[in-house]
Structure 1
Amino acid sequence: MTSAAGLFKRCGCHDPMTGRRLGSQCPQLGVRGHGSWYFRLELPPGKNGRRRQLRRGGFASRKAAGAARDFLSNPTTLDGTSGSAVTVAQWLRLWLESRENLAPSTMRSYAMHARRHLIPNLGRERVTELTPARVQAMFTSLIRTHAATGRPLSVATLQRIQATLRVALNAAVRRGLLASNPARFVELPSGAKPHPVVWTPTRIALWQASGIRPAVAVWTAAQTAEFLAWLHRSEHPLYVLFHLVALLGLRRGEAAGLQWADVDLRARTVTVARQVRQIGKHLELAAPKSASSNRVIALDHTTAALLQGLRIEWLATHPGTSEPVGFLFPDRSGAPLRPDFLTVIFRHLNSASGLPPVRLHDLRHGAASLSLAAGNDLRTVQALLGHSSITLTADTYATVLPDLAHHAAEATAHLLQDATGTQSGRRRPGRRSRTGRSTRIRHHR
């Protein structure tokens, strides 16, 4: 589907016979929502006199593609408006329409921030007249307005709104509408991430008496073992899934996305190659959160035996097959489980078990702590969790369990005692005893 104005529509469908991409020849392009709009712009000839063209695509509508084409051909105008008069609302809409290669969740987040916060508060402002003070005033107003309604915006939400505005205005800087980005200088309340703490007897007593609980808490090794044992006795169908999350530190989307092709029982490994991503009611299979999240995890003998049992169950219900296929934990239709369903079912199981409350994601924190308590170093835990940097592992997940903390304290004390040659409780070297004899320092060779 083409246009004489240099606008055309195309899609990524392929010819089933040749495998070639149909592009602008796809017969489904007339269907609403199928494909996206592109524009073609003639540029001045190069130094060698050759013809040059600029082509951009990914626009949701013909109008958006035309507006982008017109703006690039004459950066001082947008939708027929002088560049100096382009409003933030106009710019945000064009910017959103022209986003390419973004994850659907990211695009959804950008659009929500623009619709709910940025356009209502900054939409009438001219882009060329935006200042750090004006942007700061908008965030101050957001904070006060939402606090007054009893629904304050979290620091994380404010930071994400700022990030959306910063990315959008960076594009405006590249187009010459701004000399610098005023969103860079916004000051927001500090929002240090709460570090995980362990459910000690004191914290449990406080929670039982007052309902007060830590923002992020993890179970001890004994509590985790108690939960898994209770789940096993209950013969819950998702026992193996929660076992994998608790020991391997899988994210809920990674656990839901595991397929039998990812399991190698001979080598005792599981490959994390995808995640189930949920956007509203829609599910999609996507790459893991980062390149480091695509990882191969070694399995202990117990976990491998659980997966072997799951494999035997699958083969018993699918006679005539030699190897299981599909998802490890499918729903009744064979599709992957919804991540939000896993969160809800875990919350119910946590409550029924009688153990102090944790979030499903806190099992991931607990897996890191258990690995550290077992004597593994941070590099090993980083690889287990699929973090891109060891700093993130140390800052966020290196929760020290009480037994490990006491062991470290005793080890430090023994190191000092060995260096001084004394034992705990003995008199200091050189001091006189009641008999008048001097306590000698014992030298170690």
Structure 2
Amino acid sequence: MTVGEWLRLWVAGKARLAPSTRASYTEHISVYIGPMLGNIPLTELSIRDLNDFYAALARRRTRFRGSTLTPGTVTRVHATLRAGLNAALRRGLIEWNPAREAEPPRRHRPRAVVWTEDLVAHWRTTGERPSVAVWTATQTAMFLAAVAEDRMYAAFHLIALRGLRRGEAVGLRWCDLDLDRGLCFITHQVQRRAGQILLGPPKTPTSVRAVALDRTTVKVLKAHRRRQENECRACGTVPSGFVFTRIDGQPLAPEYLYRRFVKLVAKHDLPPIRLHDLRHGAASLALQAGVDLKVVSDQLGHSSIVLTADTYVSVLPALAMDAAEATARLVAEAGQRAPGAKRVTQRKPNPPDPSGRGKRRRRSPRRPVPTGPSIPTRNTARSKIGFAATGKEVTA
């Protein structure tokens, strides 16, 4: 049995695969693994074969602008191959898994870059842009104000403020919303596979969550529902139950929302970002607003705050400035308390006297000097000893 034959048999036998995962495995096997490793006998596959395969993938050109495959794509292909070979190892078809010892290229998670004024000026001059970027709060507000009359405004507003994924927003149904209590329940997502729009579970089990909605977002969604009802009434159709649909009320493809977003960003001459970067921006803006990192992680549907902090949270300039000022203030206060440090104290000025004569300092009265016989003290015994020795009275 060859590598290609086993991998196709392995995918066909996995009945409990999500549609998106099955499509990803099938693409990796047919496009990448099959043409280069498919004819090698399964028992003769070596570490050298895999290392040469990964190196060739890294040099492979894509159909998009002639760029090469990203390390992330090569890493995902390696994961598919390793999972298939692990299954062959459990079946007893091979004695060891060479993918465990191979060296695929390391995947580095890109950190989101904030579109500062200097970076925007550099982009307008050279056309160079970061791979992952987020807007500031001002830029986000400018975009939402510019597209307020667009049909998909409510979707962009929801993603920008609450951080929904594209498939989660498109898969949202009116029965998943509780606008009276301000809650949004994420239970499904929409994906396009083989030309069909499929409704399936979210990306991960932790993605099933309840998202709190602010009052402004609730008003936006209510206005969107009235608009959707008027459009369906004009078309003579019945709404499908989804929140974001076509004019006739039928479900949207996730790609439509992405293409619409890119056109609107270019139309209003804003720094370019991806639709998924609105999700990055929602996490960063929530952090800037003082929201706890665990709350942000739950809002995004992550299983760990480490993933949220490492990938989806960008420290915005305003937040970084506050942190810098707080650190400098802490060091300055500690320096004033240090031994030998010169303390600078400022006396509060006296309030002005309306009479113009000024306020005199009040002096405490002197205590009267006591007269009469002396009062015995602790040194009385010492006084008697001094009198006996010298013949003179010693004052205690």
Q: Give the TM-score normalised by the residue count of structure 2.
A: 0.80
Matched residue of 1:421: which SS?
Answer: helix
Deviation at 1:334, TM superposition (A): 2.5
> How many pairs does the alignment contain?
338
| CA distance in 1: counterparts of 2:314 and 2:44, whole angstroms | 47
Deviation at 1:150, TM superposition (A): 5.0
Equivalent residue number for residue 198 of structure 2: 284
Does the alignment pair 1:169 with 2:85? yes
Equivalent residue number for residue 295 of structure 1: 209
| Residues 172 and 186 in structure 2, CA contact (< 8 A), matched pair in contact too | yes
Unaligned runs of 5+ in 1: 1-85, 423-427, 432-438
| CA distance in 1: counterparts of 2:213 and 2:315, whole angstroms | 23
Please show how residues 168-317 of structure 1 align to structure 2 within 5 Å.
Answer: 168-232=84-148, 235-314=149-228
| Residues 429 and 440 in structure 1, CA contact (< 8 A), matched pair in contact too | no
| CA distance in 2: counterparts of 1:346 and 1:290, whole angstroms | 25
Deviation at 1:370, TM superposition (A): 0.6
| Residues 429 and 441 in structure 1, CA contact (< 8 A), matched pair in contact too | no
Per-residue CA distance 1:199-258 (angstroms, 9 max, x = gap) = 0011001100000011111110000001111112xx111111110010000111111111
| CA distance in 1: counterparts of 2:133 and 2:8, whole angstroms | 41
Deviation at 1:137, TM superposition (A): 2.2
- Select between 117-126 and 137-146 the one with higher mean Cα deviation: 137-146
Equivalent residue number for residue 372 of structure 1: 287
Task: Report the CA distance shift for 1:418/1:326 in structure 2 as closer, same or farther (over 3 A).
Answer: same
Does the alignment pair 1:103 with 2:32? no
Task: Report the CA distance shift for 1:311/1:105 in structure 2 as closer, same or farther (over 3 A).
Answer: closer
| Residues 270 and 298 in structure 1, CA contact (< 8 A), matched pair in contact too | yes
Does the alignment pair 1:132 with 2:47? yes
| Residues 75 and 107 in structure 2, CA contact (< 8 A), matched pair in contact too | no
The code of the aligned residue for 1:237 comes to: R
Percent identity, aligned pairs only? 48
The code of the aligned residue for 2:104 comes to: L
| CA distance in 1: counterparts of 2:60 and 2:142, whole angstroms | 45
Equivalent residue number for residue 18 of structure 1: none
The code of the aligned residue for 1:414 comes to: R
Matched residue of 1:255: which SS?
Answer: helix
The code of the aligned residue for 2:224 comes to: L
The code of the aligned residue for 1:139 comes to: Y
- Select between 179-188 and 137-146 the one with higher mean Cα deviation: 137-146
Does the alignment pair 1:337 with 2:252? yes
Unaligned runs of 5+ in 2: 234-238, 346-396
Structure with the larger helix share:
2
Cα RMSD, aligned residues only? 2.2
Structure index of larger Rg: 2
Deviation at 1:317, TM superposition (A): 6.5
| Residues 191 and 254 in structure 2, CA contact (< 8 A), matched pair in contact too | yes
Task: Report the CA distance shift for 1:356/1:100 in structure 2 as closer, same or farther (over 3 A).
Answer: same
* Structure 1 residue corresponding to 2:4, chosen from 89, 94, 107: 89
Q: Which has the higher contact order (CA 8 A, sep 6+)?
A: 2
Equivalent residue number for residue 363 of structure 2: none
Equivalent residue number for residue 273 of structure 2: 358
| Residues 240 and 249 in structure 2, CA contact (< 8 A), matched pair in contact too | no
Deviation at 1:419, TM superposition (A): 2.1
| CA distance in 2: counterparts of 1:201 and 1:120, whole angstroms | 47
* Structure 2 residue corresponding to 1:112, chosen from 4, 27, 42: 27
Equivalent residue number for residue 411 of structure 1: 326
| Residues 165 and 276 in structure 2, CA contact (< 8 A), matched pair in contact too | yes
Per-residue CA distance 1:31-66 (angstroms, 9 max, x = gap) = xxxxxxxxxxxxxxxxxxxxxxxxxxxxxxxxxxxx
Per-residue CA distance 1:73-114 (angstroms, 9 max, x = gap) = xxxxxxxxxxxxx22122123223212111222212212221
Matched residue of 2:252: which SS?
Answer: coil
| Residues 240 and 250 in structure 2, CA contact (< 8 A), matched pair in contact too | no
Matched residue of 1:335: which SS?
Answer: coil
Deviation at 1:151, TM superposition (A): 4.1
The code of the aligned residue for 1:330 comes to: T
Structure with the larger strand share:
1
* Structure 2 residue corresponding to 1:401, chosen from 291, 316, 320: 316
The code of the aligned residue for 1:310 comes to: H
